[in-house]
Chains A and B, each alone.
Chain A
Amino acid sequence: MTALRRRTLLQAAGLGATSWFLPSARRGRASPGASAPPRRVVFIGCELGWNPFELRMAPPGAPPEWLMASGYHPAYRDRADPRTWELDLRSAPRDAFSSTLAPLFELRDRALVLDGLSLASVAIDRYGDGHAKGQLHALTGHPAALGKSGSRSVAGAPSADQRIAAALRAQEPALTDLVSLELSLSRRLQYAAPYHARIYRETDQGLIAPVPAEARPERLYERLFSGGTAAGETPARRDLLSRLGDRYAAFSRDLSADDRAKLDLHRQLIRDAEVRLAELERARCQAPPPPEPTWPGGFDDGPRFPLEHFRQRKDAHFDLLTAALACGLTRVATIQIANDEHELLLGTTDDAFHEWYSHGTDAPWRWYGAPGANVSETEHGKFVEAAPGLAAKNRRQVEYAVDLARRLDEVPEGEGTLLDHTLIVLFEDISHGGHGHDQWPVVLLGGFGGAVRPGRYVRLPRTLQNPGLNGLGDFIGVPHSHLLVAILQGMGLDLDHLGVSEIPATSDRAAISLSGPLSALG
């Protein structure tokens, strides 16, 4: 149990009163009505892929082959599969949910599962391994700018969360850098992986820079509620920031243009801190008590932590994020989840987890003995043994998303709850153990201010000619870029595409459009 429990937070934050927001929380452009609360979005990025066979759902009585096309069956390697279906999760009984999606039952009227997307833009990326590409493309939809030592890469465009943050700040000057939060539930993970990053922002000089994520709840608390420090903020300390900003201006005067831009960014961060202090002085949304683990020494004691550490860290992060969203400090967040908990539960290590549970569950290996399957008995045996572990990991990740959604649903807002105006987006870096990027499931939770129609499981067609995605046949599913466009449009951004707008045609394949929103969302 963390010291910061939801009830405490809600009381401290003034639940039940009408004054939920700081003055900075003006109404977002995307809001359906002038008085509606602003929309928020929370991305939750995981790693090492899905076990599709424990995730997929089909209509009652559907023939088994309905599952085969998107299950990497050899019969569908060179065939398109135009079949689509939509399941009404609101009326689905508990046992109709797949084992991975079973945690959604509790919030089934707020869940939307997209089955059959593809990370199509990966096809035109030269750099990085499967993880690097998935982590990078999931939120950018754009090829890497360059590669680093084989498996690494660096993004060529800012990630969706940072695009949203930049746009909102341009619209609402009172918002600060806290408009976006980047969090890690893993102690060691401040980027998506030691070599990979998922979150990128664009600097003033056009540089695409990875953004570190906060792994320590106590630090997050300080940033959110104490102006970045644990000590009380005084007028003198605000004045100090103003003086510091002046020094940065003076120091950068005779630097090169690039360096000036870097220092200007630093100066902007100082300015953000100043604004936050001013906002806090006027805040009606009270700070909750600081999070504390049940052991001494803070959340970070010890190089590896027992299972309880992970869970308390998650609880504290989720509570603070809920507070930041509710108080209007934050509109977009990205949460990174590594495999600490899964490793601990399964008694393995990160490297071994990757080797055994991810590479060991290359989805086509399930089809040993099927006509056309190039699968050895050893490979199939490995799959059979490892697949349940990967599915268990997937299920826990769905539980995390539901956990956060529940917290948001406890916060009244407008005519409904905070969850009604928020969209939680749960995704992986790769589709399945084969490290490919087609048939990439996404779990959504929340009403997003009316911009999505939840309570559904949506199977999308697999009919686009494969532009070069890894090893899964001649056809791929709907590009995820459309989902990103829909989310960004929902947040009020006036754009038609994110990252690249299309995958160009070749002599034997038509162009694939990556523009426009995903119609299946609404």
Chain B
Amino acid sequence: MARASNATAALRRLTLLGVAAALCGCDAQGWLRGSADDPAPATGSQRGPARRLNPVELTRALEAAFPGVELPPVDLPPDPVPARFDNAIEAAQPSGLFFAAHRRLALRASAAVVEQARPCVDERDGPAADACARAFIAGAAEQLFRRPLTAQQRAAYLAPLDAYRDEAPSERLRLTLELVLLAPELLYRAPRADAEGALDAFALATRLSFFLWESPPDAALRAAAAGGALAEPEGLARHVERMLDDPRAEATFVRFMSQWLDVGALDRTSSLSDDLRASLHAASRAFLVHGLWRADANLGALFTTDRAWLDDRLADRIGVRRPDAPLQEVRLDPDRRGGWLTRPTFLTTHALPDKPSPVQRGVFVFDRLLCRPFPPPPPEAMSGAVVPDGARVNTNRDYYEVTTNRGPCAACHEGINGAGYAFENYDQFGRWRDADRGHPVDASAAIGDANFAGAAALSRWLATSPAVRDCLARHWLEFAAGDGSMAADDGLRVAVADALADQPLRRIPFVIATHSRFARLASPPEGAP
């Protein structure tokens, strides 16, 4: 009787943990049992590239596994970001600093779980305590590893429970959990696929969940994977719809768009006060959440909407009427303030401390929005712009024209500045100006044969540009895959670009996730059925 009550208490504590829920919910589907032996890799089966979870993904994995536990922050050294997105496969290389930080995290997180959730604490030593500990570790491992354990994994990850008999039960449990938290199966995603390149159900569930939520699969998705539901288009679509309705999809959208639009430049711009930086972050987030995601807005709205979210500080900074609330939606003059490119975040982060930079603004348009990056400047271009003797420099535009229109600079700057001059009506703070140092502003600009009078006109052109749709499709697919493999699939990229022409942005993840290529390791060879 005492044993039964202890077991009940232990189970009650375990249910504090997502792992216990996973354990109980999935046992019927065979999650806990694992295979009798580690299967040899099937002939011709494949593993995808090993991608390390980034700090956001790791945080969410731990939070999902141990809800209710106050976990230590995932404080890992930043990876260099060679690509646009922080989930890029090439970004995450191991280093001594990383391993030390990961080990510190595992130690502290395992201690937090054992101390706060107190799993199996009511079990006395003996078979029931052993069973409880083993069930706890196995449940945690299966959830964190995102697929059922093989027999070999089970043996390896439960072994410390037997090996460290000299330790107190709670310490034994903590050490064993520490091993799970350090495991490669948690830290790395390396999807399994069959000989034809089709992902197995758990790999597909994992890819889907990290793409839509930057989190591991939840219990429903794991159950769908185990039950085969994801193999059917309808079943897959149902789960994608369900996941897109979840707040985590919105959070992922914001992180994707923020990286594409380089909102992170705010943190690299040292001329901002902390308060102002925080205001700009909040306004940017509100723009993406309320202006795009929750508004069911399409790509055009990104460039043309008159909706903005400002606080007093930002309103003062760009010279518009102060809002009544700390952060409030306001409507701006669409002829002056149409879309993202006329908002203070973009304009501030693409400026020098003392003047706006048509070069930085133009490079952004070509690089981020049109996917047409310019080559790096030649060495002789980097010594600082020199104004030639006798040159007439009245305005910022004059300065850039006379310092970049000569020698090796001219070839690229004709294009870069051609777009960047469209923003000359905005100073380095994003404030509108009709005159620059007492002279009229000239914001006439051009990209190829298209001419614009100012940023609003340029933005309207971008809003309907097929090149922008193709470019955003590339970026979204890079974000989905962690590399360029999906973006290189013409069929998928065209499907996404087409959808961007007439569907809301929040629909695009559905288009990607339900495309046949999404469930494959690589594109089928040309001519394959």
A interface with B by C-beta (< 8 Å): 122-123, 125-130, 133, 147-154, 177-178, 182, 190-191, 194, 197, 203, 207, 209-214, 219, 222-223, 228-231, 236-237, 239-240, 243-244, 246-248, 250-252, 254-256, 258-259, 262-263, 265-266, 269-270, 272-273, 303-304, 343, 349-352, 355, 359, 362, 374, 376, 378-379, 433-436, 468-471
Q: How far is the CB of A389 from chain B (nearest CB, A)?
A: 15
- Beyond the given A228-B99, A239-B160, please list 12 additional residue pairs across the A-B interface where CB-CB is below 8 A: A129-B376, A149-B363, A230-B104, A244-B182, A248-B184, A251-B183, A258-B49, A263-B184, A351-B270, A378-B387, A436-B383, A469-B379
A126–B80 CB distance below 8 A: no
Given A251-B188, A259-B50, A362-B384, does the pair A229, B104 have CB atoms closer than 8 Å?
yes
Shortest Cβ distance from residue A307 to the other chain B in the assembled complex, whole angstroms: 16
* Chain B hits for A255, CB < 8 A: 47, 50, 190
Q: How many residues of B contact A (CB 8 A)?
A: 63
Query: With A351-B269, A351-B271, A352-B271 in contact, do A130 and B175 touch (Cβ < 8 Å)?
Result: no
A contact residues around B80 at 8 Å (CB): 191, 197, 210, 212
User: What are 9 A-B pairs with beta-carbon distances under 8 A?
Assistant: A125-B379, A130-B379, A150-B374, A229-B100, A240-B179, A247-B179, A256-B49, A272-B99, A470-B383
The reply to whether A270 and B99 form a contact with Cβ atoms under 8 Å apart is yes
Given contacts A228-B100, A362-B383, contact A259 B160 (CB under 8 A): no
Q: How far is the CA of A212 from the CA of B50 in the complex (A)?
A: 21
Main secondary structure of the interface of A (DSSP, over half): mixed
Contacts of B380 in A (CB 8 A): 470-471
User: Is B392 interfacial (CB-CB < 8 Å)?
Assistant: no
Across the interface, B159 reaches (CB within 8 A) one of A243, A273, A362, namely: A243
User: Which residues of B pack against A, CB within 8 Å?
Assistant: 41, 45, 47, 49-50, 77-80, 82, 93-101, 103-104, 107, 152, 156-157, 159-160, 163-164, 167, 175, 178-179, 182-185, 188, 190, 268-271, 274, 277, 352-354, 363, 367, 373-377, 379-380, 382-384, 386-387, 389
Is A236's CB under 8 angstroms from B77's CB?
no
What's the least CB distance linking A104 to chain B, in Å?
29
Contact B178 A240 (CB under 8 A): yes
Cross-chain contact B99 with A269 (CB below 8 angstroms): yes
Which single member of A151, A240, A468 contacts B379 (CB below 8 Å)?
A: A468
Can you list the 10 inter-chain pairs with the closest CB atoms, starting with the nearest? A350-B270, A228-B100, A251-B184, A177-B96, A269-B99, A259-B50, A349-B270, A266-B94, A352-B353, A212-B77
CB pair B376–A150 under 8 Å, yes or no, is yes
B96 touches A147 (CB 8 A): no
Out of B97, B104, B277, B383, name the residue touching A212 (CB < 8 Å).
B97
**Are the C-beta atoms of A435 and B101 separated by less than 8 Å?**
no
CB distance A190 to B376 under 8 Å?
Answer: no
B100 adjacent to A223 (CB under 8 Å): yes
Question: Are the C-beta atoms of A470 and B379 separated by less than 8 Å?
Answer: yes
Contact partners of B373 in chain A: CB under 8 A = 149-150
Chain B nearest CB from A466 CB (Å) reads 11
A376 neighbours in B (Cβ, 8 Å): 387, 389
Q: Which of A133, A148, A211, A351 contacts B95 (CB 8 A)?
A: A211
Which residue in chain A gives the minimum CB-CB distance to B389?
Answer: A376
Residue of B nearest to A378 (CB): B387
Contact call A435/B183, Cβ cutoff below 8 A: no
Please state if B188 and A263 are interface contacts (CB–CB under 8 Å): yes
